[in-house]
Amino acid sequence: MKTDGEHMAEHDGKLDGTRAWAEPEDLGLDPGQLYRAYGVLERFVAEERIPGIVALVGDSSGMLAPYTSGWASLIPEKVPVTQDHLFDMASVTKVVATTTAVLQLVERGVWRLDDRVAQFWPEFRTEITLRRLLTHTSGLPAWLPVYKEARGPEEYRRKLAEVALKYEPGTHVEYSCLGFLILGGLVEEVTGQPFDAYCRENIFEPLGMADTLFNPQGSYKARCAATEQKQEDGLPLQGEVHDENARGRGGVAGNAGLFSTAYDMGLFCQALLNGGALNGRRILSRATVELATMDHTAHLNESRGLGWVVKGTRTHSSAGDLLSPRAYGHTGFTGTSVWIDPENDLFVVLLTNRVHPTRENSNHIRLRALFHNAVAAAL
C-alpha cells in the first residue's frame, strides 16, 4: 500500500494556473477595509513578529487571491513565501481530516456517535464514546509524549488505552490531542485503510484538494514552509510534521500531520458553507454539517462542536470579536487557522509558520483576532 506521500509523488506537482480569483466587490467586501486588514499582516511581518503569512478570504461561491507576506524560511536561507507554499496544518488536521472522516462513517452506518471506543478497541476499559472524543469531553489529558514509548500503530494503541482519565467524561472540556490520536486509529480499524489513504480518497480528491496530504515528498516537500529548527543539525523541519506524537506514528495521525495550501483550505471551507458539497461532489450531508458546528458544550467551560471550536458568545476567541456567534473554526500549533461564518457567508484561512525557527513565539495569538476583526469589518 502506497503512503500518501508516495501517492502524491507520482504526480509532478505542477501548479494550477487557471484559478479565477474574485474581486472584493464580488463578495460584498469593502476593498479599503480589506486593505487595512492586510495591513495588520504586513505590520506583524515588518516587526519580525511572524516569519511568513498566507491569508485567504472567501465565501460559498468565490475566493480572493491569497495575500502573502514574509518568508517561508529564514534559515539556512531566506525564501519568500508564496500563495502555493504548503504549511504544516498541525491541529487543523483534527477537523479537516479526522472529524470529517469520523462523521462520514456515521453517515455510512459504520458507527454512531455514542458508540464506545471499546466496541472497536476492546482494550479500552473506560466508557469513552466517539462523541466525547470529538467534543473534547472524554476526560483524557491534553497531551502526553506517547512517542517516547511507542513505535507504530499497535504500540500507540496500547499506550493510549493505558492513559488514566483526568476528569469524569462529560463534565469538563479538556482539549486533548490524545483523543484525536485515538479517533484516527479507529478510522483505520473500521475501514481497513491507512488513515492518509482514506482521507485522500474520501475528502481531498472529491473536493479537488490536490495539494493536501500527509508526508509530502518531492516537489511537494520543496514547497513546504519551514517550521522549527532541529537540535541535531540546526536545520528547520521542512515537509516533516512538527508534532512529535504524529511524527512518531510515521507522520500520519488523527491529531496532526496534514500539509496544505491556503487555496485547498479555501475549497474545504467552501464545501462546508455549501452544506457539505462543492462542484457537485458531496463529502458530508447538510444535516451532518449543522450538527458538527453547533455548540454541544454550552453548559461547560468551553464551546465545542464535533471537532470544531464554536465561537458563541464567549470572549477571547481566536475568531476575534466581530464574526457571528455561529462562526466555527480551529487553530494549529504551528500558527495555522481556519474560521467559517455561515451567518455572514464568510471564511478566513490564515496560515503562518510562527514556530520558525523556534516555538517560543506567541504573536500569532494576537494576530488572529486582530486580522479576523479587520476582515469582518469589511462585510
- Three cell numbers at 377? 469589518
Task: Give the pLDDT of residue 13.
Answer: 33
Give the pLDDT band of residue 367 (cuts 50, 70, 90). Answer: very high
Domain ranges for the chain, please list them: 4-12+20-94+194-376
Task: Give the pLDDT of residue 371.
Answer: 98
CATH 3.20.20.70 for domain 4-12+20-94+194-376:
no
- Are 139 and 146 in contact by the 8 Å Cβ rule? The answer is no
- Are 115 and 282 in contact by the 8 Å Cβ rule? The answer is no
Report helix, strand or coil for 55.
strand
Query: How many Å apart are CA 35 and CA 38, to the nearest integer?
Result: 5
- Three cell numbers at 243? 508534532
Does the pLDDT at position 8 exceed 50?
Answer: no
Q: 310 has which bridge partners?
A: 328
User: What helix, strand, coil percent values describe the chain, rounded to 5?
Assistant: 35, 15, 50
- Are 117 and 124 in contact by the 8 Å Cβ rule? The answer is yes
Q: Which tens digits make up the pLDDT trace of 329-353?
A: 999 999 999 999 999 999 999 999 9
Q: Which tens digits make up the pLDDT trace of 278-301?
A: 999 999 999 999 999 999 999 999
Residue 306 CA to chain centroid, in angstroms?
A: 14
Higher pLDDT, 232 or 206: 206
Q: What percent of the chain has pLDDT over 70?
A: 95
Does the pLDDT at position 97 exceed 50?
Answer: yes
Task: Give the pLDDT of residue 4.
Answer: 52
> Which residues are CB-neighbours of 19 under 8 A, at least 6 positions away?
263
- Three cell numbers at 182? 485515538
> Which residues are CB-neighbours of 1 under 8 A, at least 6 positions away?
194, 197
Mean pLDDT of 193-212: 98
Q: What percent of the chain has pLDDT over 90?
A: 93
Does the pLDDT at position 358 exceed 50?
Answer: yes
Report helix, strand or coil for 228.
coil
Task: Give the pLDDT of residue 9.
Answer: 39
| E strand or H helix that includes residue 63 | none
Report helix, strand or coil for 250.
coil
114: exposed, middle or buried (Cβ count in 10 Å: 0-12, 13-18, 19+)? exposed
Task: Please report, as a single letter, which amino acid is at residue 363.
Answer: N
Give the pLDDT band of residue 206 (cuts 50, 70, 90). Answer: very high
Q: Which tens digits make up the pLDDT trace of 147-187?
A: 999 988 899 999 999 999 999 999 999 999 999 999 999 99
Does the pLDDT at position 271 exceed 60?
Answer: yes
Largest interatomic CA distance in the chain: 58
- Three cell numbers at 304? 465545542
Does the pLDDT at position 10 exceed 90?
Answer: no
Does the pLDDT at position 85 exceed 90?
Answer: yes
Give the pLDDT band of residue 236 (cuts 50, 70, 90). Answer: very high
Exposure on the CB side of residue 283, measured as CA atoms within 13 A: 31
Mean pLDDT of 23-50: 98
Mean pLDDT, the chain, integer: 95
- What pTM did the predictor assign? 0.95
Closest C-alpha among 273, 364, 378, 351 to residue 66: 351
Does the pLDDT at position 6 exceed 60?
Answer: no
Query: How many Å apart are CA 327 and CA 277, to the nearest integer?
Result: 18
Query: How many Å apart are CA 148 and CA 49, to the nearest integer?
Result: 32
How far does the chain reach from its first CA to its final CA, in angstroms? Answer: 47
Task: Give the pLDDT of residue 1.
Answer: 37
Angle, alpha carbons 324-35-20 (nearest 5°): 85
| E strand or H helix that includes residue 178 | helix 177-191
Does the pLDDT at position 114 exceed 50?
Answer: yes
Q: Which tens digits make up the pLDDT trace of 38-82?
A: 999 999 999 999 999 999 999 999 999 999 999 999 999 999 999
Of 80-89, 120-129, 197-206, where does mean pLDDT reach its minimum?
Answer: 120-129
Query: How many Å apart are CA 358 and CA 360, to the nearest integer?
Result: 5
Task: Give the pLDDT of residue 16.
Answer: 43
Task: Give the pLDDT of residue 18.
Answer: 65
